[in-house]
Amino acid sequence: MTATLNKDGPLAGQVAVITGASRGIGAAIAYRYAQEGARVVVSARTLEDGDHVLSGSINSVVKRIRDAGGEAHAVRADLSIEEHRENLIKETESTFGPVDILVNNAAVTFFVPVPDFPEKRFRLMMEVQVYAPFHLSQLVLPSMIERQSGRILNISSHAALHPAKDAGSRGGAVYGMCKAALERFTTGLASEVYDKNIGVNVISPGLVATPGVEYHKLITKENEDHVTPVEHMAEACLRLVHGDAQEITGRITFAADMLAEFNLEPAELLST
């Protein structure tokens, strides 16, 4: 099977912004949306290959989409900085037009036990994983409300679920707190904009072998049989941003559940 690009797909002509899209899940979402006709803006801190310890860059993602015949634009942004968030939306609007789809995927993650967690890192995680999605939503919502159309998709994690009291920890309390806050924001916003025809959802991928997951050594012998292909997450994220916004909104869902509910067959990605 060869990855294909359908300019007349369900996202034809729509403008999608994906944060944290230099690699992993964010890049996969960008490829999948572009394959269904979206004009994609990919954002992250890593502009060129080699700029980061992990492989991947927003320029390489854009090149792959353009080489396949799609439309894409790269905007470097550090989402902990207010001006970068504002510039991301401004540059998107000046390049492609108003934002139809916002995917809040970016994350900065540290695994440190609570007694030792540095305040600086705590504030950075909260800024990138909680406030940045909130602020970016504020920036795109006025246009969505005016047009009575839009989608916001937040990327969470199973870490948002409450652990068993005897489960032990790898220092993930702050990470889980950030994701739990993101999920509550999602359902609250979905309720606020339901009558504006704006769908707001949050999805967890399961364990995906992304560069970040491998870097943090989150895949072990005990869980390696449960690793989810990134194509599954991309397909689920596609389904959450088209169709009737009022029918699919306010969800806290998982990639596997979306595939089962809608009988989805994950497409090959441009990245493969």
**Chain segment 97-155, per-residue pLDDT in tens:** 999 999 999 999 999 999 999 999 999 999 999 999 999 999 999 999 999 999 999 99
Q: Is 164 exposed, middle or buried (0-12, 13-18, 19+ CB in 10 A)?
A: exposed
pTM of the predicted structure, to 2 decimals: 0.92
pLDDT at 226: 58
The catalytic residue positions are: 175
Give me the residue spans of the domains in the chain.
15-261
**CATH no., domain 15-261:** 3.40.50.720
Res 229 pLDDT > 50: yes
CB atoms within 10 A of CB 29: 32
**In the numeric block, which tokens belong to residue 34?**
């572009």
Q: Which residues have CB under 8 Å from 146's CB, separation 6+?
A: none
**In the numeric block, which tokens belong to residue 45?**
């801190």
pLDDT at 215: 46
198-204: strand order across its sheet: 71-76, 39-44, 15-19, 101-104, 150-155, 198-204, 252-254
Mean pLDDT value across residues 191-205: 97
